[in-house]
Structure 1
Amino acid sequence: MTLEHIPEFHLGRIAPTLAVRDIHAAYKLYRDVFGFQKAFENGAPVGFMILKKDAAELHLTRNPNHKAPPYNVAHLLVSDANAAYRSCQHHELRIIRRIEDKDYGLRAFVFADPDGNRVDVGEILQR
């Protein structure tokens, strides 16, 4: 297939899905650290949950045998990276990369949640 044959269409939202061992503990963490609220859940026991805050959406899926990969699984843009960093520290999340200004225009850091999921957090720097 060549590029001329790709149909033109617009993309909608795309949301990362994080596998977690305890979905309720993960929800509490993302609520307390970032302010996410539960928008949807299903299953008995709950096996899937959608969290939302502002324009951000995060999906959680329960996997009791989850082993996180050794790379970032999501990227979250924030309006204040310093405040997000302090919140992660306050909640004793493991910091993978300390906060710093990057040459590609972000003030960013990486944390790991209790399930080992690595999330890159960044604020766009004004030039």
Structure 2
Amino acid sequence: MSDSNNFSHSAAILPVSDLPKSIDFYTKKLGFEKTFEWGEPMYYAVVRKGGVGIHLTKRSDGGKPSRYHRALYIFVNNIDDVYKQCKDEQIKIVNDIEDRDYKMKDFDIEDPDGFIITFGKGD
């Protein structure tokens, strides 16, 4: 593991209770594109927007997402446009947009399964 050039990229994998509902949320409300699906019936899918990919898998246990910790932090170039889109789409915003003391302007939304997704922009 000493060669850092060997690392290409990573994927956040969110276990969801209703895969079609989650795909609709990310594609129709947030503007992601479904780029991959797997299984018959489908139990795994990938949605992508720009350089951000989110892998969604059908939950097979009763696990619940954390109510206190972010599942994913997405860095964006125009935070105000993303915030407006979330407001326009009536997405549940659980932490309003604000300039933070850690030098980020960000806000948190909740997806249909309760995952906390943060959109942020640095100085």
| Local SS of the residue matching 1:52 | strand
**What fraction of aligned residue pairs are identical, expressed as a percent?**
27
Contact 1:20 1:66 in 2 (8 A): no
- Correspondence for 1:113: 111
Q: Does 1:28 align with 2:24?
A: yes
| Local SS of the residue matching 1:72 | coil
Paired residues in the alignment total 120
Q: What amino acid is aligned across from residue 41 of structure 1 in structure 2?
A: E
Contact 1:93 1:114 in 2 (8 A): no
In 2, the alpha carbon distance for the partners of 1:93 and 1:14 equals 26
Contact 2:109 2:117 in 1 (8 A): yes
Q: Deviations over 1:8-67 (max 9, x none)?
A: 232211111111111111111111232211111101111111111111111001116452
Residues 1-127 of structure 1: matches in 2 within 5 Å?
7-10=2-5, 11-63=7-59, 65-70=62-67, 71-125=69-123
Alignment gaps of 5+ in structure 2: none
In 2, the alpha carbon distance for the partners of 1:40 and 1:49 equals 5
Q: What amino acid is aligned across from residue 37 of structure 1 in structure 2?
A: E
Query: Considering only CA atoms, is the larger Rg found in Structure 1 or Structure 2?
Result: 1
Shift, 1:69, TM fit: 1.6
Contact 1:21 1:66 in 2 (8 A): no
Alignment gaps of 5+ in structure 1: 1-5
| Local SS of the residue matching 2:66 | coil
Q: What amino acid is aligned across from residue 82 of structure 2 in structure 1?
A: A
Q: What amino acid is aligned across from residue 74 of structure 1 in structure 2?
A: L
Shift, 1:90, TM fit: 2.2
